[in-house]
Structure 1
Amino acid sequence: MEINTYILWIIIGTAVVTFIPRVLPFIILSRLDLPEWVLKWLEYVPVAVMAALLAQEVLIYDNELSFSFQNLKLLAIVPTFITAIITRSLIGTVLVGILSMLILQYVFI
């Protein structure tokens, strides 16, 4: 099997383009002494990103915003969210979410 140099350069280029925005801010911010309010604000970024991703996935049903009982993801998130709050276990939360969707799809579809 022969490696095409054009494809190899594409792979290297995409790796560099992906690597720079992830590492460059880390390098710059690690050398700065950030104010306390900025550090406090940055603590909420992962939660906000996760909430945005989760809300989009759970609340959209048939390309529309849906709060109906036909939206099985919305029903499955209830036990999943309760498990996350009580156990604070990632693996437990994921397993409850998978099992909830499995049971709901088996019952309703």
Structure 2
Amino acid sequence: MPSFEFVFLVILGCGLVTWLNRVIPFVLLKRFELPLAMVEFLSFVPVVIMAALWFTGLFHQHLGHLPTLNELNCLASIPTVLAAIISKNLLVIVVVGIISLAVLRLVI
């Protein structure tokens, strides 16, 4: 099999597997109803993901040393956290975060 065909089939296979991993849960959840405890537990997943992304952006990791605070990201997170508290809308949070970091980078 020529190299192009092999790579093309691998890309198609990876795309199919990725698509199936995202579609199968939706198809299954359409037919079944999750228990209330599970729905409540899953409602915290977006908050946990955003918090993990936020905390990793707040620090610089230096090899062999303790992490140091990234002052620019820390300053940009102040209006972002305020937008999160006020709006509780993920799109607003992301846009405010991007704009506040861009303004700070432009100014500093």
TM-score after normalising by structure 1: 0.71
The aligned amino acid for 1:42 is L
Consecutive aligned runs of 4 or more in structure 1 exceeding 6 Å deviation: none
Percent of residue pairs bearing the same amino acid type: 36
Which blocks of at least 5 consecutive residues in structure 2 are unaligned? none
TM-score after normalising by structure 2: 0.72
Partner of 2:28: 28
1:1-109 paired onto structure 2 within 5 Å:
4-56=4-56, 58-63=57-62, 65-67=67-69, 70-90=70-90, 92-108=92-108
- How many pairs are equivalent? 102
**Structure 1, 33-42 or 93-102: larger mean CA deviation:** 93-102
The aligned amino acid for 1:12 is L
Cα gap change, 1:62 to 1:33, in 2 (>3 Å): closer
**Structure 1, 81-90 or 47-56: larger mean CA deviation:** 81-90
The aligned amino acid for 2:67 is L
Measured on the aligned residues, the alpha-carbon RMSD in Å equals 2.4
